[in-house]
Amino acid sequence: MQWETVIGLEIHTQLATKSKIFSGASTAYGAEPNTQACIVDLGFPGVLPVLNERAVDMALKFGVAVGAEIASRSVFARKNYFYPDLPKGYQISQFELPIVGRGSLAIDLEDGSRKVIGITRAHLEEDAGKSLHEDFHGMSGIDLNRTGTPLLEIVSEPDMRSIKEAVTYARKIHQLVVYLGICDGNMQEGSFRIDANLSIRPFGQEAFGTRTELKNINSFRFMERALNFERERQIDLIEGGGKVLQETRLYDADRDETRSMRSKEEADDYRYFPDPDLLPVEIADQRLQSVKLSMPELPDQKRRRFESAYSLSPADALMLTQSRQQADFFEKVVGNGVDAKMAASWVTVELAGALNKVGLELPQSPVTAERLGGLLRRIADNTISGKLAKQVFEAMWNGEGDADQVIEAKGLKQITDSAQIETIIDKIIADNPKQVEQFRAGKEKLLGFFVGQVMKQTQGKANPGRVNRILLGKLKG
Amino acid sequence: MHSKSIVELGAALRAGEFSSVELTRHFIQRIERLDGDLNTLITTTPEQALVEAESADQAVKAGRAGVLTGIPIVQKDIFCTRGVKTSCGSKMLDSFISPYDATVVERLRQAGVVCLGKTNMDEFAMGSSNETSFYGPVRNPWDRERVPGGSSGGSAAAVAARLAVAATGTDTGGSIRQPAALCGVTGLKPTYGRVSRFGMIAFASSLDQAGPMTRNAEDAALLLQAMAGFDPKDSTCANEAVPDYSSTLEDSLEGLKIGLPREYFDAGLDPAVATSVEAAIEVYKRLGARVIDISLPNSGLAVPTYYVVAPAECSSNLSRFDGVRFGYRCKEPKDLEDLYKRSRGEGFGAEVKRRIMIGAYVLSAGYYDAYYLKAQKTRHLISDDFKQAFERVDVIMGPTTPTTAFGLGEKMDDPVTMYLNDIYTIATNLAGLPGISLPVEPVKGLPVGLQIIGNYFTEAKILNAAHRFQQETEWHRLKPDLSKQS
């Protein structure tokens, strides 16, 4: 039987606020355990939460970006359960009235078509701490630094019909929240965590199959592997005459498998109720308007602009706008008055390659946008050839100054003086009578040999256009 | 010296008649002598009190003394106090030394008060008799075989017994007004949001409110002045200007419209208490007030509504007491579940456990709509009753409690009868309104309280009404004879 996959995602994005959602403690990652948890985070007797309005603004930005309904009044609720890394014994979340309602996000499919994925809701909540089960000899360690870090949980409709679509959607949400500046997107540090609901059904069947929920997915690679494993597991189960149980399963990346955490029957009753310590969040029109005005250009808008304003190919525009950093970098390079296509190629190929090789991110690039622009300008004005440009780039990468300084220091300035080139060519023609004869007899590919000779004698500095023109004139003449 | 009010003592301190250190020593000695029997205090802080008194004396000398400078008070043990045990009347927090000050504690300290100690209370403020305290019951100074009321029973009894000039209390369903009535002191529960809840250990967050317990309304005005006002650390604290409560105390009551809800004078009210309250109303008539019969038709819903809302919130608020980070932890837990079950099972008393279970039940899937949601609706009905009443009247008056103080142990086996002791006070918490209880004519030597309920943020009005009454009567000056041994 042919099985269709149905997937919906719940994505937890840590919002990039400086302090926590209900306290003034820092959200910075990687501090010594329990050094960034204040009495509010620790749930001491008598403490009270105070909402960080920056987290609300960030949620609003996301809502606007996905064209969602923004609730003029949303309510924080308590989700009650006991766990040692949950100090208050409840998590402050939003339940019945989330801040962001229905919205959608379009994804690009491989065949070039677009598909709109429905977003059910997005709500604000606080993160829990971490339980550390290793290194404590039969006990567990608790690190409460993460407690109270603001999360925006983005819940999609079960609109994805393949694992590829699900990964594409997750990547697009990732790109969007990073673009919006509301999440640092660091999956290794847990800033972007994915829970996936997956079910299968025979093609053509309308009713959904029984779903399982996969937790603990913290990379796109794992996501693909986890979903593949789970899809196969469900198919094997059903084809073997079994039934899928509604349950929560944990993906174990080391073993590349999913295993059961708890079934629906064991599911906790969280006893949600409105948190009496917090007032409902009221969003005035004025506030929403000012969020709308402060919205950055979104990936799709930027891509379309790059195509039209810079006459870039759709592929180049897509590549450049993958990240806001790269797009901004590109625009700075182009701002130096250089050709957009050449800039696109240098940013996405040469520079990206160099960064990738040493594992650096764009903001740490030793070659700034201004300097790369300076280099490309020297190609455009024929000061150096494209070939030598790579050598200059390397020197710049190694900190030997800007393009002009490197060209000067290494004497790489292109020879554009026709008389000088002619003298060299005359000598080469005189020294190679046999090749001249063969060329004139019709073996025109020997032109490359002569160009090579010129470049050899000029250490590659001769302007290739001129060399070609003068050579052809002399050989044919 | 110990029977004087804040106003009288403050004037004497500033006039140099005696120092705050002398005054503080006097109260410390009284506590040492009398509290062993009354049990009003869980923790005494004499050394700290004398340090505070000394700095108060310096402020007096430097001419920097305010109205509360150097006045010895006691704080209910529900307010977190830095470096001091803050037990909330529970074994669960017997070992808890708070690392921070509640906003109320901080504000009163800034106002210059001297804190003599932390008062006994029903465990986590759950109780109406002070008998649920881990530290044993408080005895009523008027009759030591009777309860002082609760949950702020220690505070009320301490003020009544002249072990402190004044006290702080908290009121979730009557916990300031009811013990004030049973101990013959003046107790004010402000409008919800008037006083910050930060650092006040939560029982039912949407109902809890801190307030003063004093000898008279004039003192209550001074204490409230220091306690009230916006606090950015409490999202439910009102950003509303605080009027000068003392400046309107003397206002005339000519034309004041007093509403008497017929539901508060029902069959459940002890006739002798009714007579005392009615006599007090007559005083108001003489002062020019007009009495209007009103109805609060949903009064009967108040107790059942409260016993859904308050347990629901407390079941969640008390989840943090899990033996993991602070407070009581059971010995040698086998595993996590054992740690939770035994720490909570051994650390909480019976009444607290009863309310946690009721609360968890009314919030659980399948029961939420029938209980919690329904209670939210009846809560609205109760608020609407008051709203309509306040369109016709300025204040509402009635008894604070249906009876005078009952005997120790008398109602402990019957929670519902115990709960009914708060029948006249609970509705104001559900509506978030301010209410004050003040002593009127005692019945058989036991104090009786008159309750005055005001509209939102009209503490000045009810303090004014209480003060004018106290200018006409002497009931608030009566004091228990502590030499009588039980």
Give residue B486's pLDDT band: very low, low, confident or very high (50, 70, 90).
very low
* Rounded Cα–Cα distance for residues A103 and A116 (Å): 10
Average pLDDT over residues A9-16: 98
Checking if the pLDDT of B482 tops 70, the result is yes
Average pLDDT over residues A64-70: 98
Dihedral sign for Cα atoms in the order A366, A371, A373, A376: negative
Kindly give the pairing relationship between strand A3-14 and strand A192-202: antiparallel
Checking if the pLDDT of B32 tops 90, the result is yes
List, for residues A271-280, the tens digit of each pLDDT value: 999 999 999 9
Of A42, A45, A269, Cβ closest to residue B96: A45
List, for residues B88-141, the tens digit of each pLDDT value: 999 999 999 999 999 999 999 999 999 999 999 999 999 999 999 999 999 999
Of B350, B361, B249, B274, nearest in space to B316 by CA:
B361
> From the CA of A155, how many Å to the nearest CA of chain B?
22
Least confident range of A213-222, A257-266, B211-220: A257-266
Half-sphere exposure of B15 (CA within 13 A, CB side): 7
pLDDT of residue A435: 87
Of B79, B200, B319, Cβ closest to residue A89: B319
pLDDT of residue A55: 98
Q: Which residues of B touch A51 (CB under 8 A)?
A: 235
- Tell me if chain B has a CB within 8 Å of the CB of A138: no
Catalytic residue among B5, B87, B175, B299: B175
B118 carries an active-site annotation = no
Of residues A380 and A297, more confidently modeled: A297
User: CATH 3.90.1300.10: which residues of chain B?
Assistant: 6-255
Tokens representing residue A452 in the block? 């090579």
Least confident range of B320-324, B390-394, B420-424: B420-424
Least confident range of A399-413, B60-74, B296-310, B394-408: A399-413
Give residue A265's pLDDT band: very low, low, confident or very high (50, 70, 90).
low
Of residues A258 and A8, more confidently modeled: A8
Checking if the pLDDT of A8 tops 80, the result is yes
Give CA separation, A307 vs A313, A318, A373, B93, in Å.
6, 9, 20, 66
pLDDT of residue B484: 65
Average pLDDT over residues B308-330: 97
> From the CA of B372, how many Å to the nearest CA of chain A?
9
List, for residues B263-274, the tens digit of each pLDDT value: 999 989 999 999
User: Choosing among A269, A273, A275, A282, which should be mutated to test the B contact, i.e. which has the most B CBs within 10 A?
Assistant: A273
List, for residues A39-65, the tens digit of each pLDDT value: 999 999 999 999 999 999 999 999 999
* Rounded Cα–Cα distance for residues A23 and A144 (Å): 13
Average pLDDT over residues A404-413: 84
Buried/exposed code over B28-51 (b: 16+ C-beta within 10 A; e: otherwise): bebbeebbeebbbbbbbbbebbbe
Of residues B83 and A456, more confidently modeled: B83
* Rounded Cα–Cα distance for residues A21 and A126 (Å): 6
pLDDT of residue B28: 98
Q: Which residues of B touch A19 (CB under 8 A)?
A: none
Q: Which residues of B touch A88 (CB under 8 A)?
A: 319-320
- Tell me if chain A has a CB within 8 Å of the CB of B102: yes
Contact B198 A48 (CB under 8 A): yes
Give CA separation, A279 vs A288, B63, B65, in Å.
19, 42, 38
Alpha helices in A294-366 (DSSP H): 299-309, 314-320, 324-334, 340-345, 352-358
Surface-to-core class of residue B190, CB atoms within 10 Å of its CB (0-12 exposed, 13-18 middle, 19+ buried): buried
- Tell me if chain B has a CB within 8 Å of the CB of A131: no
For B352, phi and psi rounded to 5 degrees? -65, -45
Contact A273 B99 (CB under 8 A): no
Contact A89 B316 (CB under 8 A): yes
Give residue A388's pLDDT band: very low, low, confident or very high (50, 70, 90).
confident
List, for residues B446-468, the tens digit of each pLDDT value: 999 999 999 999 999 999 999 99
> From the CA of A289, how many Å to the nearest CA of chain B?
25
Catalytic residue among B128, B133, B151, B276: B151
The amino acid sitting at A464 is: P
Contact A82 B80 (CB under 8 A): no
Average pLDDT over residues B32-42: 97
Domains of chain A by range and CATH? 8-185+262-289 (no CATH), 297-410 (no CATH), 418-476 (1.10.10.410)
The β-bridge partners of A125 are A151
pLDDT of residue A408: 83
* Rounded Cα–Cα distance for residues B246 and B228 (Å): 13
End-to-end CA distance of chain B: 25
Give me the total of CB pairs closer than 8 Å, taking one residue from chain A and one from chain B. Answer: 99
List, for residues A95-131, the tens digit of each pLDDT value: 999 999 999 999 999 888 999 999 999 999 999 999 8
**Mean pLDDT estimate for chain A:** 92
Give residue A409's pLDDT band: very low, low, confident or very high (50, 70, 90).
confident
List, for residues A331-340, the tens digit of each pLDDT value: 999 987 889 9
Instruction: Kindly state the helix (H) or strand (E) to which residue B50 belongs, with its residue range.
Output: helix B46-61
Contact B202 A89 (CB under 8 A): no
Checking if the pLDDT of A266 tops 70, the result is no
Checking if the pLDDT of A477 tops 80, the result is no
Give residue A256's pLDDT band: very low, low, confident or very high (50, 70, 90).
confident
* Rounded Cα–Cα distance for residues B394 and B251 (Å): 14
Contact B96 A80 (CB under 8 A): no
Contact of B103 with B233, CB cutoff 8 Å: yes
Average pLDDT over residues B181-197: 98
Give residue B416's pLDDT band: very low, low, confident or very high (50, 70, 90).
confident
Contact A89 B320 (CB under 8 A): yes
Contact B99 A142 (CB under 8 A): no
DSSP 8-state class, residue A190: T
- Tell me if chain B has a CB within 8 Å of the CB of A273: yes
Contact A271 B316 (CB under 8 A): yes
- Tell me if chain A has a CB within 8 Å of the CB of B197: yes
Average pLDDT over residues B32-59: 97
B151 cis-preceded (ω within 30 degrees of 0)? yes
Q: Which residues of A touch B88 (CB under 8 A)?
A: 45
B76 carries an active-site annotation = yes
Of residues A416 and B60, more confidently modeled: B60
* Rounded Cα–Cα distance for residues B31 and B117 (Å): 10
State ipTM. 0.96
| CATH, range B6-255 | 3.90.1300.10
Residue A396 CA from chain centroid, whole number:
27
Q: Which residues of A touch B233 (CB under 8 A)?
A: 48, 50
